[in-house]
Structure formats: C-alpha cells, structure tokens
A and B are shown apart, each in its own frame.
Chain A
Amino acid sequence: MKLALVLTLAAWGAAAQVTYPDLVKADPRNWLTYQGPYHARRHSLLDQINARNVRDLVPKWVFHVPGASRLESVPIVVDGVMYVSQPNEAYALDGRTGRLIWEYRHEPAMQRGPNRGLAAYGNRVYMGTPSAELVALDARTGSLVWKAKMAEPEEGYWSPAAPLAIKDKIIAGIAPGDHGLNGFLDAYDPNTGERLWRWHSIPKPGEPGNETWAGDSWKTGGGNTWLTGSFDPELNLIYWGIGNPAPDFDGDVRKGDNLYTESMVALDADTGRMKWYFQFTPHDVHDWDAVEIPVLMDAPFDGKPRKLLAQANRNGFYYVLDRADGQFLLGTPFIKQLNWATGLTPEGRPIRAPGIVPSLEGTRTCPPTAGATNWHSPAFNPDTGLFYVVATEGCGINYKARDTFRPGGFPFMATGYIEDPEEPWQMYVRALELTTGKLRWEYQQIGSKRYGAGLLSTAGGLLFAGDEQGALTALDAATGKPLWHFNTGQQITASPVSYEFKGKQYIALAAGSNVIAFGLHDPAAEQASE
C-alpha cells in the first residue's frame, strides 16, 4: 500500500522528460524535434558510425506501421523512446528493439494525409491531426491529455506538420496549400492547449501587405504553413516558410506580390509578431511553396561574422539571408534547368523570363511545380561547410484555367502541371558551398525521379540519403562517394535521423510503410537483445 503510494508519487514527481534547456542544448543522443536541434542542420554530432566503419552498418529492427503506404513522418527520439506518426496515429517504440510501447488513434479519423511527425515537451508529445486539431499525449502511455481545435476541418483545414516545441509554447502550422484557405501559424500553451497567439500569413485590409492583393483576392490567398520551421533561441525568432498563393496557376485574379506567400518570415516567439520577411517568389504562378526548411548557421559572409539562414527553394534558387534582419545576401540556382527567371536583382527579387506563365495550351516550365526541391529535408555539415540538398532536374508543362473558390475544402488551383513528356525527371543529391552556392559535388540517384527522401549529415563524415528506389545510401560527406547502401524495399518519402541508446548509435527512418533502424554489426549485443 505504502509502496504503491511511493510509486505513484515518483511517477508524478519525475523530472519533466524534455525541458526547454534540453531542447536548446540538443544532446545528440536524442532527436528532439522534426529537424533535430532548433537550427535544423540535421547534422548529428554522433560519430560512432563513421566513414571507416559504415560498411558494417546493418538493420537492427523493422517496425511495420499498420495500414501505412508512404510514410512522411520523421521520428523523434527521447532517451531511447522513438515517437513516430501517420495521419491520426502515433506510436511509441523501444529505440533499441523496435517493440511497441503504446499507440494512439485519433477520433474523428479523417482521411487526409500525410502526417510528418511529433514534438516532445515535458512529459508529453504533440501531434497535428487531419481534423485540424493539435493533440497532447502523455509520452509514457499515449493517453490523450488535451486537444485544441486549430481550425474548422469542414472548411478543409488539416495539420500535417510536426509541431515545434519552444519555451512554454507549442508552435503548429496548418494546411492545405491549394484550396484558397488562408494560412496561419499558432502558439499553444503546452499544459492547457490554450492558444497564445496566431499569426496570419495573409494580411487583412488595413494591415501592411494587404495592398499586394488585388481587390478581394486576399480572402482566398492561401499561404499555408505545412512544414516545420526552425528557431533561434538567442534572437528569440521563429523562422517559417510560407506556402503558395491561391489559385495556384492563375495569377490574373490576384495581381500584386501576394504577401506573405512564398516568403520566409521571422516571428517573435513571445508575441507572434513578424520581425521581418523575405519573399522568394513574388506573385508566384507555379505553386512553388517556400516552406522548405530554413537552416540556421553562423559563418563569415563577405569577411564579416553573420547569423545566416540558408534555404534551397522550390523555385530553383539557393538563398542565404541574414537571419537577424532578413537581408538578402546570396541567391544562385542549384539546378541546371531553370527557365522562369534570368537572375535575381541585388535585392533578391527574381527577374522574370517573359512568357513563362501557365497557359491554356501549356507552358514548359523549369523547374517543374514539383520543385527543384520540396519538403524533404536538406542538411548542413559545419565540418565540410557544405549545404546538402536533394534536387530534381526536369521541367513541367504548366496549364491554366479559370477556377472559382468553393468553401468546404475543394482545391482552388486553376489547374496544374504535368511532367514534360519529352524529358523524364532525375533526382540528385547536391553539395553546395554554404556562402557561394557553388556545386562541390553531386550524386545522381539512378532510377529515381520522384522526390520525398531527405538527408541526414553526421559528424562521422557521412551523408545519409534515401531515394525513390528505396535505397538508403551513406555518402562520403566530402566527396559524395557512396560508402554503404541498403535496399529498404519501398520508395522513401521521409528523412533519416540519428540517436544513441545505451552507448550505441542508430540511424533510423520511415521507409514506405515501415520504420527501420540501423546500427553497427555487433554479434555479441545481438545475442543479448532479440
């Protein structure tokens, strides 16, 4: 009796599992946010697995996610417990054996995908749902602690992005991008689910930026926040990429720059107020959401130490900004086939090539709408100074038609695009010099033309890349030479992570309908586990 009481108290009184200082410190043995540490470099400091021994990397376990097809979830790992998701569902796994600890199924289970993962804070994990709710689950049991309504699911909203836990707040973005529903970014109280602030990505009349929308077009402007951003604890700024304007392919009905679509925004973490923005593609007509991960690093630029933000954008340009004030520092193509702009002005505004706009008969557009890159994660390795990105070479044929907005969650795209039938797409892993964007090396992913697989860099001198063919490959971070590979058996549409548990480093990722973890071959240890 007494013992039971003590146990209960111990459980309640246990130190919070993940504190804000933990998140800032980002112990490399854990993988605490969608992007690892707040700076989103996806560079693990673990080096037990390295260029010398990576040939001994073997699969340690497979967890099949019931009913999954192409998972886009990136696992988070806290003290050996892995949390992974698919729409409406979360799973907690033993990071060493892949054994299920608990699972959570959300009601109502609306059929909208994908889901990209969870956030950890305190003793809870947080997940967005197809019903546009943010849920807080007890990290030890999967019990639902609270749920907060982010938006009206009947209007067509849902929440695919992994939330981001910062100090005393859970930051959560919203989808869809192509339905004429206006986006926002929210902050919630981790304990109660109360909404603390909301930033609207489309300014209302009277607010600065609204003048960049002709007439009432702002009302259905889109601009969603469907991929997780990054955070600078010192500057106290959240960086988040904003999606495309709607209707996607018909710009005639929304003349103007269409702020803050296709922008990087920096928001004050306490208030949600915008400190600065930079718009990559003003008045976009090609559906080039600017949600790609903002990667943060400090490095000299033009001889001066700078706080930088780098993004490889779906529009084909690689950008470097000053993340304190949003100043444009560099913009240069990271793909060869780019026909929509002839360059950028000194302020970073694209110089449009005439005629490259969607049309009734179709307009050849490079990169395609699928993008020079997309939501799959890039990585930055401070040791090599290289920014790594998965790039698509190819073109699309972009079409335009009239479309009318209909409430209730219908696409408002004014048609779309097809792959250029004359020229199949091709995927590459590319290594760019951080401050020049110069191509240092590239690795062609033979047989792969569909995007979705992201990157993980490690202090072991490795870059892990998945591909459409299902191969997980370890490349030499300095040269791009393949050092190890494994056929996971399904198209990979997620990014790998690394963690350490009981002294052993793991590389793990969602591959198709499975989560797979790899570690160094160790016959003695394998006997001891399963």
Chain B
Amino acid sequence: MRAIAILLVCAALAWAQPGRRGRGGPPAHAAPLNPAEVEQGEELYNQSCTMCHGLKGTVGDRAPALAANRRYLRATDAALFDAIKNGIKGTLMPPTPLPDADIGKLVAYIRSLRASAVDAPVNGDLTRGGAVFDGKGACRQCHMVDGRGGLLGPDLSSLGAERSLRYIEEALTRPKAHIPRGYQPVSFVDAEGRRVRAVVKNETNFSLQLLDEAGRLHLLLREEARGLRYEEQSLMPADYDKRLTAGEFQDLLAFLSRRARSRGTR
C-alpha cells in the first residue's frame, strides 16, 4: 500500500511541469490541418490507394488499415510522406509518382482520418489529469504509460497520436461492441487446480498465449487449457463518466490526449 502511495506521488511530480496545459498549449504538429488540403487528399486517396488500403483507410484487402492502427503506425508527417513517396521496400507498398504537393495532401488526409487527439484542442489540466490517471481512476493498474504501469490493458504512452479524441472519450464511457484482439478476458484451471484469470494475447485452433493478472505468460495448447471460460465483458471499466466528476473526466481527457511519445512531443 505504501509502495503504491509513493509511486503515485512520484508520478504526480513527474507530470507537474509548468506550461503543459491542454488549452493554449502548442499543437503537436508544425502545421494544423487545412480542410481544403484534406479534401483534395481524400480525392487523391480514393483514386490511387483504396484498392489496397480500403475506403477511409479502415479495411485493406492488401494493405494495413491506415487509420488508427497501432501496429503499422507511422506517426509523423515525415514518416508518412516518406512511405508514400518512396514506397516501402520489400512490401507491396509502391512508390507514388505524384508531385510532392499532392503527397502532402495525402499525408493531410491520412492525418485527418486518424484525427489524432494530440492535434485537437482539449480543455482540462494535464497535471490534474495525470493525478486522476494514477489515483482515483486507477488506470495505471492496468495500463502502462512511459514504462510504468499494469500489463492487462494496452500501453497508452502514444494514445494521443494513435486515436481521436472521440475514440478516447468513448473508450472511457462505452464498452466496445467487441473485445479487441489481444484483450479477451478468460479464466482457466492451472496445474495446481487454481482458476487463473488472464487475457488472450493470441489464439488459434491449436494454442493460446495468455497473460494472467500477475503478469505471467501461459503458453498452452488448447487441450491444456482446462476449464477455459471466455468472459463476456472487457476488463476495461467503461463508465468513467460516472466514476469521475465532470472536471476530473475533462482533466483526464486532456492528459490522455497529450500522450504522444511516438511524435516526440514529451
């Protein structure tokens, strides 16, 4: 208990830096999005990219979804520009013959698709938000930020670059229609006959890779996972609008939306 309290204090100190307010803080990007550019970018995108990346970058037949996909994320404008201009060697991603100005529009469109929270103005106080994250919200129990925290939920260190503000808000207030891959909670009976709770990091017809509440991995063949039970509900408590006051919620949102480690903003 004391260890946790100390940890919380340290964490609070770490974020207690001046000039890190959500409101009025500098945007994480050099240039804000220009709606006309975004629109032209969408047109270009629909002409040359949808057959692989899919409409709105959400489902690709031959390529990753470009919008808000953790695994493939190129987070900076420069990285996106480079991938589009030069292609990605050793993959199907081709170089584009389009002029640089058009590539810039494509980058703008992809950014708009992602509508990253870090690019959006958000009210609220970052420092107080960080305290809610560690304290009343107990988020760090399950989520790692900057190398510290729990393991059962996704690492949120770059959340603001990867997700839109609306997405984050919904994640805190509405259970997802489907538990995302990697976070299905299950329980099973281990060799000592104890029921163990865990999340499914991966599964196929033949094996399961499970991470239990104590942070232990269980690498099981399906027949070894005795008494395997799938839970209906995600571990993520999606009712923080009720658990927190409106002010705390807003501060938390400001804090979360500025987690953008992959952009080098903090």
Contacts and interface: CB of A to CB of B under 8 A. Distances in A.
A447 B204 contact: yes
Nearest to B56: A418
Contact of A422 (B48, B95, B177): B177
For the residues of A in contact with B, the DSSP-based class is: loop
B123 interface: no
Interface string A409-452: 01101011111011110000000000000000001111100000
B46 A415 contact: yes
Interface in B53-77: 54-56, 58-59, 61-62
A305 B81 CA distance: 62
B90 A447 contact: no
Contacts of B59: 370, 396, 417-419
Contacts of A70: 62, 92
A478 B90 CA distance: 41
B54 A418 contact: yes
Contacts of B47: 406, 410-411
A471 interface: yes
Nearest to B180: A424
A25 to B, nearest CB: 37
B177 A413 contact: no
Interface string B96-107: 000000000000
A419 B58 contact: yes
A323 to B, nearest CB: 30
Contacts of B204: 446-447, 467, 469, 471
Nearest to A72: B62
Interface string B176-204: 01100100000000000000000000111
B92 A113 contact: yes
Contacts of A370: 59, 61
A421 B67 CA distance: 13
A485 interface: yes
Interface residues of A, number: 37
Contact of B205 (A67, A111, A399, A485): A485
Nearest to B205: A446
A471 B205 contact: yes
A374 to B, nearest CB: 9
A69 interface: yes
Contacts of A444: 205
Interface in A47-70: 67, 69-70
A424 B205 contact: no
Given A370-B61, A482-B205, A411 B51 contact: yes
A421 B177 contact: yes
Given A445-B205, A447-B202, A417 B55 contact: yes
A178 interface: yes
Given A410-B48, A417-B55, A485 B92 contact: no
A346 to B, nearest CB: 35
A473 interface: yes
A482 B205 CA distance: 9
A93 to B, nearest CB: 21
B46 A411 contact: yes
A424 B55 contact: no
B91 interface: yes
Interface string A384-401: 000000000000100101
Contacts of B90: 67, 69
B50 interface: yes
Interface in A440-479: 443-447, 467, 469, 471, 473
A418 B177 CA distance: 16
Interface string B198-234: 0000111110000000000000000000000000000
A67 B56 CA distance: 28
B35 interface: no
A449 B43 CA distance: 29
Contacts of B26: none
B94 interface: yes
Contacts of B177: 421-423
Contact of A69 (B54, B55, B91): B91
Nearest to A415: B55
A423 B176 CA distance: 11
A67 B89 CA distance: 8
Contacts of A113: 62, 92
B206 A482 contact: yes
A113 B59 CA distance: 18
Nearest to A413: B50
Nearest to B49: A411
B24 to A, nearest CB: 34
B55 A418 contact: yes
Given A69-B91, A111-B94, A446 B203 contact: yes
A232 B181 CA distance: 46
A505 to B, nearest CB: 24
Contacts of B46: 401, 403, 411, 413, 415
Given A446-B205, A447-B204, A411 B48 contact: yes
Nearest to A417: B55
Contacts of B50: 411, 413, 415-416
Nearest to A486: B206
Interface string A355-379: 0000000000000001000000000
Nearest to A249: B55
A349 B91 CA distance: 41
Given A445-B205, A447-B203, A471-B204, 20 more contacts: A70-B92, A111-B87, A113-B62, A114-B62, A176-B51, A411-B47, A411-B48, A411-B51, A416-B50, A417-B55, A418-B58, A418-B59, A419-B59, A421-B58, A422-B177, A446-B203, A469-B204, A471-B205, A473-B205, A482-B206
26 contacts: A67-B89, A67-B90, A69-B91, A111-B87, A111-B95, A113-B92, A370-B61, A399-B55, A403-B46, A406-B47, A410-B48, A411-B46, A411-B47, A411-B50, A413-B50, A418-B56, A422-B178, A423-B178, A424-B178, A443-B205, A447-B203, A467-B204, A471-B204, A471-B205, A482-B205, A485-B206
Interface of A: 67, 69-70, 111, 113-114, 176, 178, 370, 396, 399, 401, 403, 406, 410-411, 413, 415-419, 421-424, 443-447, 467, 469, 471, 473, 482, 485
Shortest 5 CB-CB distances between A and B: which pairs?
Answer: A416-B55, A111-B94, A418-B58, A422-B177, A419-B59
